[in-house]
Chain A
Amino acid sequence: MCREAAKTVYELENYGMPFSRTEDGRIYQRALGGQSLEYGKGGQAYRCCAAADRTGHAMLHTLYGQSLKHNTNFFIEFFAIDLLMVDGACVGVLCMSMEDGTLHRVFARNTVLATGGYGRSYFSCTSAHTSTGDGNAMVARAGLPNQDFEFIQFHPSGIYGAGVLITEGARGEGGYLLNAQGERFMERYAPTAKDLASRDVVSRSMTIEIREGRGCGPDKDHVLLQLSHLPKDLIYERLPGIAETASVFAGIDITKEPIPVLPTVHYCMGGVPTNWKGQVLTVDSVSGSEKTVDGLYAAGEVASVSVHGANRLGANSLLDLVVFGRACAMDIAEKSERGMPHTAVPDDIGHDSLAEMEAIRNSEGDVLSAQIRADMQKVMQTDIAVFRTKDSLEVGNERLGKIQQDFKNRLAVKDKSMVWNSDLVETLELRNLLTCAAQTAGSALAREESRGSHAREDFPDRDDKEWMKHSLTWQRREGDKVEVGYRKVTGTTLDEEECKAVLPVTRSY
């Protein structure tokens, strides 16, 4: 990924992505949390290319424009329900057109999952309402494992109340965090990197400050991000989106006042395990060895290659997406051509998924799906949060088990139609969120050490001897017990000549 990064930036720039520029016309690069020179010993690195403070937005529109150029068929307002599997290989997808309520079985030699993460399983998150772990759940229902679900990244600067994200670039440009006493508390926790320490370190520091009573506001439950000391034209040139977001969602003028922020769920490091070509991996139940699943690829937040490990650095998600999305495409182009035949499938493939969906649509219980979702989000936010203990995780697991039973037995879906049935679609999304939440809770309880964003108060140190491995979780149906397994971490690079493997060291900022 690091090798392909520069080429990828040039390619995006050639597609027309509007990067910010320096005075002499080169692409502007800024500092971002956790990026350093000489593997941590050379100080802060300034290598994150950016387009003001909305790089992701700019990339989305650039790539969308390019895809329209290339004869892509878009099925708009189609909701994917399940993967169609034949003999352990993926042959297509079952989906529903929300616009007219018709169901479609789409057969394809290659399916690429790019459905995003499952931030919405928490009460306060920076993700969109559609971030419901659909790809992860479809893979789980197909009997395949998901990897490293216990690593959920809490971004340090989500606006208090609304949960909207204030990009890390704000701290990269010179912003810093203050507690109620007006102190730059990050200097105590990370003397070298200060506010640009890695996100999980900053989130934990903020949580400790709040817990020890130095939080701001009437409830003392958040801290402040100060940007008013920066020159006004710098703010308006480099961080215009934040100026607007802060004024809309927090009613604050960032050139005069600090922004109230709180650690908010931002990214899910875990996902569908893939190799460096983007092919989905699974563990063969008979021989216990790893193998690829034919016809299935994954890229982006839904996948776990895993280049982020237990904690993701800023800007790496966009890079991961572009590099491995392209890797999937190249692998598919190598193996397939136009007009190749499909595998033969049984006539009734997908009928069991349909039967489940029908059962959900006709449910006549007493608890609305919105209520079940709210309960799940609260449980995740209290029990499986920044700091975890054995008790909180056990209580969380038990409560999630009860919520899953409620979903199975007491669900009520009021809207019975098939056309634009948002009740049904949100219930299906809730089903996906529940399995993601259950697998997160299960693997968090099993991992007895602290690593990256998984911080356990009862096991505060990192244990490389025992726990340097990926967790795999399986859960076929909601309410089933989550099975936890493990997989070795790949310690070597693909080509030792080109780039030597970097050995893990203790993190200290």
Chain B
Amino acid sequence: MPRLSGLQKDVLVLYRRCLRACRAKPAETRPNFKAFARREFDKHIEHNKKDFSTIEFMLRKGHRQLEIYEAPGVTNIAG
């Protein structure tokens, strides 16, 4: 495996946090949350890996979304 850059590691850290948060959700709706996380990352998977400022912005946005959605009160997600 080629060495991962700092930014790539940050993206993987965020994805891992998302998947861990999904485990805390109720069993019936867990696949919805996992699918949502996958979709959010898939939206930008083809993005230029040298465009640092945009990737950093998306990371910040992702962290903010995670903060809202990992709250125990959120029980289902759609779309």
Q: Which residues of A contact B (CB under 8 A)?
A: 73, 75, 100
Residues of chain B in range 52-67 having any CB-CB distance to chain A below 8 Å = 61, 65
- Of A73, A75, A100, which contacts B61 at CB under 8 A? A100
Q: Which residues of B contact A (CB under 8 A)?
A: 61, 65, 68, 71
Q: List 4 A-B contacts (CB under 8 A).
A: A73-B71, A75-B68, A100-B61, A100-B65
Bound together, the chains give a CA A75 to CA B65 distance in angstroms of 12
- Point out the residues of chain A lying under 8 angstroms from B71, CB to CB: 73
Bound together, the chains give a CA A75 to CA B61 distance in angstroms of 15
Bound together, the chains give a CA A392 to CA B65 distance in angstroms of 52
- Point out the residues of chain A lying under 8 angstroms from B61, CB to CB: 100
| Nearest opposing residue in chain B for A106, CB measure | B73
Bound together, the chains give a CA A75 to CA B69 distance in angstroms of 12
Bound together, the chains give a CA A73 to CA B70 distance in angstroms of 13
Chain B: minimal CB distance from A293 (Å): 23
Q: How many A-B residue pairs have CB under 8 A?
A: 4
Chain B: minimal CB distance from A74 (Å): 11
Chain B: minimal CB distance from A345 (Å): 11
Bound together, the chains give a CA A75 to CA B71 distance in angstroms of 12
| Nearest opposing residue in chain A for B75, CB measure | A107
Bound together, the chains give a CA A100 to CA B61 distance in angstroms of 9
Bound together, the chains give a CA A212 to CA B75 distance in angstroms of 65
- Point out the residues of chain A lying under 8 angstroms from B68, CB to CB: 75
Bound together, the chains give a CA A75 to CA B64 distance in angstroms of 12
Chain A: minimal CB distance from B42 (Å): 17
Q: Which residue among B61, B68, B71 has the maximum number of chain A CB atoms within 10 Å of its CB?
A: B68
Chain A: minimal CB distance from B61 (Å): 7
Chain A: minimal CB distance from B34 (Å): 18
Bound together, the chains give a CA A100 to CA B67 distance in angstroms of 14
> 4 tightest CB-CB pairs across the interface, nearest first?
A100-B65, A100-B61, A73-B71, A75-B68
- Point out the residues of chain B lying under 8 angstroms from A73, CB to CB: 71
- Point out the residues of chain B lying under 8 angstroms from A100, CB to CB: 61, 65
Chain A: minimal CB distance from B12 (Å): 22
| Nearest opposing residue in chain B for A108, CB measure | B73
Chain B: minimal CB distance from A420 (Å): 13
Chain B: minimal CB distance from A75 (Å): 8
| Nearest opposing residue in chain A for B71, CB measure | A73
- Point out the residues of chain B lying under 8 angstroms from A75, CB to CB: 68
Bound together, the chains give a CA A100 to CA B60 distance in angstroms of 13
Bound together, the chains give a CA A100 to CA B62 distance in angstroms of 11
Bound together, the chains give a CA A75 to CA B74 distance in angstroms of 13
Bound together, the chains give a CA A73 to CA B65 distance in angstroms of 15
Chain B: minimal CB distance from A191 (Å): 60
- Point out the residues of chain A lying under 8 angstroms from B65, CB to CB: 100
Chain A: minimal CB distance from B48 (Å): 21
Chain A: minimal CB distance from B63 (Å): 13
Bound together, the chains give a CA A7 to CA B19 distance in angstroms of 51
Bound together, the chains give a CA A73 to CA B71 distance in angstroms of 10
| Nearest opposing residue in chain B for A73, CB measure | B71
| Nearest opposing residue in chain A for B76, CB measure | A105
Bound together, the chains give a CA A499 to CA B65 distance in angstroms of 54
Bound together, the chains give a CA A73 to CA B72 distance in angstroms of 12
Chain A: minimal CB distance from B69 (Å): 10
Bound together, the chains give a CA A100 to CA B68 distance in angstroms of 12
| Nearest opposing residue in chain B for A342, CB measure | B75
Chain B: minimal CB distance from A346 (Å): 14
Bound together, the chains give a CA A343 to CA B61 distance in angstroms of 33
Bound together, the chains give a CA A73 to CA B61 distance in angstroms of 19
Chain B: minimal CB distance from A76 (Å): 10
Chain A: minimal CB distance from B24 (Å): 16
Bound together, the chains give a CA A126 to CA B22 distance in angstroms of 48
Chain A: minimal CB distance from B22 (Å): 17
Chain A: minimal CB distance from B76 (Å): 9
Chain A: minimal CB distance from B18 (Å): 16
Chain A: minimal CB distance from B26 (Å): 13
Chain A: minimal CB distance from B39 (Å): 13
| Nearest opposing residue in chain B for A75, CB measure | B68
Bound together, the chains give a CA A449 to CA B37 distance in angstroms of 62
Bound together, the chains give a CA A75 to CA B67 distance in angstroms of 12
Chain B: minimal CB distance from A337 (Å): 15
| Nearest opposing residue in chain A for B61, CB measure | A100
Bound together, the chains give a CA A73 to CA B67 distance in angstroms of 12
Chain B: minimal CB distance from A261 (Å): 45
Bound together, the chains give a CA A75 to CA B68 distance in angstroms of 9
Chain B: minimal CB distance from A110 (Å): 14
